[in-house]
Structure 1
Amino acid sequence: MKFTRVRFRLGLRSLMILVALVSLAVWGAMIIWSPTRRLAQRLRPDQPVYVRREAASTLGSHLIPAWEVDRAVEILIATLDDPSPRVREYAGVGLHQVGPRAGRATPHLFPLLGDEDRYVRYVAARALASIAPPPSPYTKEVVAALERMLDDPDEGVRRAAAESLVELGANEKAVPIVLDALISEDESLRSWAQVTIGRARVPGPFADRLILELGADESRRREFALFILQQVAPTKAFPALRALVEDDRPEIRRWAAEQLDRLTPHRGEVAAGPAS
């Protein structure tokens, strides 16, 4: 008894129909299991605040596939008007996490800079630097808005605006706030200032002010100024110290000479850190 092998052959039309059915099934599955679809449902007004807050934050995370990011941005923009300040805050966090791809959200973040909640203002200030970096068409408007935020009554919001300006390369007006933090007694503020200056797109204004700080009466201020100067503009540290050797104050002359002796064997390199 012989068995005949059965061969299945699909015609072109049948193959096209099969491909269409598979595509339809995949499309349907993507809709059913779509993260943005599920998260949008959790952002309905009848949902608790904590549910809406977490949904807003997740929309800006890595859990959103690349092909759904634009939809996530649309949802986050709509969420910026949520009645809860915590949800508005986390919607801003989500946009900050998305970055430049969320650039069209920029005009919608400006009103949040005047929000009654300081955390919302803080997040809005930071998100603007993330989603509208140069050469964004909104950068000039963002810089102007952030410069106005430097007068915010909340210190944290002022620092957020200053940090964003530094990242955007428009740090001229942010320099005093950052340098005040750099010479603060608060270690956390000093750390913030160091990180912020290290991210400066245009370090020039900081270098000029740091050179002036090298002549401060307080040794702590001088040490930290030298440390940061070597990070952002190492070629300017040596000439600045050479100039201070001729200073009228004996203590400054002695300190500058000591630093020159320490740096001369490693000229052009970044020091290990400020003296303790």
Structure 2
Amino acid sequence: MPALTHAAQDPDAWVRRHATEGLGLIGQQVSDEIDLSETVQILIDRLHDDYHWVRDNAARALAKLGTPAEPAIPTLVAQLEDENRYVRFHAALALKQIKTPEAQDALFNHLFTSRWCALTTRGTPY
């Protein structure tokens, strides 16, 4: 994991993209065995990346980690408004997979105030 956490901070976006994917895949397998707090923090940082594929893979990775990704909830909520639809989807998926009341409340609050049609706004969801 140390090599991947280092690679997730690489100047090259493609390296960061694949490193964040790897952190999710490996973290998913070892989440019961090791402390993932450093991994979660790196992934939270990558949710702010300029490159949308890095943000998307970071959200996917957090979804794979599930409950250990709980510290990412506020950042994932912010990513529900990302310009990229894949980032938005995977941020929502991560909130679902975290499975804490806070994550579920955040997800439901977002769903209830999302624009489902051109006539609705956040202030008037109906």
TM-score class normalised by the smaller sequence: 0.7 to 0.9
Q: Structure 2: how far apart are the matches of 1:108 and 1:116?
A: 14
Deviation at 1:60, TM superposition (A): 1.5
Alignment identity in percent? 30
Specify every segment of 5 or more residues in structure 1 that has no aligned partner in the other structure, as ranges. Answer: 1-34, 154-276
Aligned to 1:69: 36
> d(CA) in 1 for partners of 2:21 and 2:117?
25
Aligned counterpart in structure 2 of residue 137 of structure 1, from 87, 102, 108 = 102
Q: Which residue of 2 aligns with 1:49?
A: 13
Which one has more relative contact order, counting CA pairs under 8 Å at least 6 apart?
Answer: 2
How far apart are 1:150 and its partner, in Å? 5.8
Please give the alpha-carbon distance, in whole angstroms, between the structure 2 residues aligned to 1:77 and 1:108: 7
Supply the AA of the counterpart residue of 1:129: K
State the alpha-carbon separation in 1 of the partners of residues 117 and 75 from structure 2: 19
**Equivalenced residues, count:** 115
Q: Is the counterpart of residue 115 in structure 1 residue 82 in structure 2?
A: yes
How far apart are the structure 1 equivalents of 2:20 and 2:95? 17
Larger radius of gyration: 1
**Pairing 1:81–2:45 present:** no
Cα distance, 1:67 vs structure 2: 1.3
Aligned-pair CA distance for 1:83: 0.6
Computed over aligned residues only, the root mean square deviation of the Cα atoms, in angstroms, reads 2.1
Residue of structure 1 equivalent to 2:70: 103
| Runs of at least 5 residues in structure 2 that lack an aligned partner in the other structure | 119-126
Q: What residue in structure 2 maps to residue 40 of structure 1?
A: 5
Does the C-alpha gap of structure 1 residues 109 and 43 become closer, same or farther in structure 2, counting only changes over 3 Å? Answer: same
Provide the C-alpha distance between the structure 2 equivalents of 1:72 and 1:61, rounded to a whole number of angstroms. Answer: 12
Shift in alpha-carbon separation, 1:51–1:45, aligned structure 2, 3 A? closer
Q: Return the match for 2:57 from 61, 70, 90.
A: 90
Secondary structure of the residue aligned to 1:77 is: helix
1:113 and 1:149 in contact (8 A); partners too:
no
- 2:9 maps to amino acid: R
Summarize the Cα distance change of 1:96–1:138 in structure 2 as closer, same or farther, 3 Å threshold.
closer
CA contact (8 A) 2:80 2:87 kept: yes
How far 1:62 moved relative to its partner?
3.1
Code of the residue aligned with 2:54 in structure 1: it is V
Q: TM-score, normalised by structure 1?
A: 0.38
The separation in 2 between residues aligned to 1:152 and 1:121, in whole angstroms, is 17
Give 1:152 deviation, angstroms: 7.4
One-letter identity of the residue aligned with 1:123 = H
**What SS class does the counterpart of residue 116 from structure 1 fall into?**
coil
Q: Which amino acid in 2 is paired with 1:115? A: D
Q: Counterpart in 2 of 1:259?
A: none
